[in-house]
């Protein structure tokens, strides 16, 4: 049917038992979207309002929360439409736009986590030099790189993707990810090698840098006093937890896009939902509970709301 439109529309064939669970899906997705907006919005607002949180570490946390809001705003509204519609379709141009935003934001998260690990390294291992090294200019440069580098890398892949001829118009997913490459009539060798290049520069290098900095931090703090070790644990553990979750979800994305279409549709659907839920929802919860200063302001905000009601 959609071939008649010269490939303008693509069918999203990854949904499971839509007729049976349509309204349940909508309720769950809407609830999750509201929770993600509220939790991440709270973190951003607290860091924006309180001057004692205007430090590089908290600014990077706010940037991660902002990325989560943007990522979900790109994905969830379209999911609402899809679960309530009889046919789950998306225009090719919109699909490419979603593809571009999803991967540029995802790669940006890795770079922000790298910036956070560098910030923790300087704070714990070079405390006297910290104000000089992690000044306002450094933070601005790190944020600019974290947002602009992925944009530049992914926009190239998106433009090339959008110009490929499609021989299939049904993807096995519920959003536009790398699985759309399987819709091309001819697999582009350049896209394959360029994808490897992006993976190396945007994932392998940042993750290696993060692990290297945290290993150095733990080696140095191991020989330090108990107070220094406690500070390192309190500030580094949340970052490592977020990194672990994000690596798992990235691994899921790779598995999803490489799964054969004959594989279980339910497995693919569940794994995709985990990508859409875990990182955006758990990040603010981890930072809100594990970061002492943020948790202090959250408790104060909660008490204020309770007292107003009383």
Average pLDDT over residues 140-149: 93
Which percentage of the chain shows pLDDT scores above 70?
A: 89
Q: DSSP readout, 89-134?
A: EEEHHHHHHHHHHHHHHHHHHHHHHHHHHHHHHHHHH-TTTHHHHT
Average pLDDT over residues 70-89: 90
For CA atoms 268, 273, 279, 282, the dihedral sign is: negative
Which tens digits make up the pLDDT trace of 91-100?
A: 888 899 999 9
Q: DSSP readout, 34-88?
A: HHHHHHHHHHHHHHHH-GGG-SHHHHHHHHHHHHHHHHHHHHHHHHHHHHHSSS-
Average pLDDT over residues 194-212: 86
Maximal CA-CA distance, the chain = 71
**Residues 126-158 as b or e (16 or more Cβ within 10 Å = b):** eeeebeeebeeebbeebbeebbebbeebbeebb
Helices 56-84, 136-162: inter-axial angle, 10-degree rounding: 30
Which tens digits make up the pLDDT trace of 189-199?
A: 888 888 888 88
2-309 homologous superfamily: Rhodopsin 7-helix transmembrane proteins (1.20.1070.10)
Average pLDDT over residues 235-252: 77
pLDDT, position 32: 92
Q: What confidence category does residue 200 fall into, taking pLDDT thresholds of 50, 70 and 90?
A: confident
Point out which residues pair with 10 in neighbouring strands: 90
| Position 33 pLDDT exceeds 70 | yes
Comparing 270 with 137, the larger pLDDT belongs to 137
Q: What confidence category does residue 309 fall into, taking pLDDT thresholds of 50, 70 and 90?
A: low
pLDDT, position 260: 54
Token couple for 212: 């290297």
Q: The whole model's pTM is what?
A: 0.86
Chain length of the chain:
310
Average pLDDT over residues 238-260: 73
| Position 255 pLDDT exceeds 80 | no
Contact of 10 with 172, CB cutoff 8 Å: no
Token couple for 209: 């840098």
């Amino acid at each position: 049917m959609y071939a008649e439109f010269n490939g303008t529309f693509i069918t999203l064939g990854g949904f499971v038992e839509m007729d049976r669970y349509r309204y349940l899906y909508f309720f769950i997705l809407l609830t999750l979207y509201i929770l993600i907006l509220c939790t991440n919005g709270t973190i951003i607002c607290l860091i924006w309002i309180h001057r004692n949180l205007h430090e590089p570490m908290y600014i990077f946390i706010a940037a991660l929360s902002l990325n989560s809001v943007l990522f979900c705003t790109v994905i969830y509204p379209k999911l609402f439409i899809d679960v309530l519609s009889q046919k789950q379709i998306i225009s090719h141009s919109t699909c490419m736009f979603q593809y571009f935003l999803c991967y540029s934001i995802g790669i940006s998260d890795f770079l922000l986590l790298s910036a956070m690990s560098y910030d923790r390294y300087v704070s714990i291992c070079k405390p006297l030099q910290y104000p000089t090294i992690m000044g306002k200019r450094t933070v601005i440069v790190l944020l600019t790189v974290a947002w602009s580098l992925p944009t530049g890398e992914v926009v190239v892949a998106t433009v090339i993707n959008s110009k490929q001829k499609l021989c299939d118009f049904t993807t096995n997913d519920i959003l536009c990810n790398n699985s759309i490459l399987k819709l091309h009539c001819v697999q582009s060798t350049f896209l394959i090698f360029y994808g490897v290049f992006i993976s190396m520069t945007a994932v392998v290098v940042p993750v290696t840098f993060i692990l290297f900095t945290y290993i150095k931090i733990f080696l140095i703090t191991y020989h330090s006093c108990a107070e220094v070790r406690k500070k390192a644990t309190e500030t580094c553990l949340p970052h490592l937890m977020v990194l672990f979750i994000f690596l798992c979800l990235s691994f899921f994305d790779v598995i999803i896009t490489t799964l054969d279409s004959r594989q279980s549709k339910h497995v693919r659907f569940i794994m995709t939902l985990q990508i859409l839920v875990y990182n955006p929802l758990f990040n603010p919860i981890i930072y809100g509970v594990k970061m002492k200063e943020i948790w202090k302001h959250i408790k104060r905000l909660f008490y204020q709301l309770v007292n107003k009601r009383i």
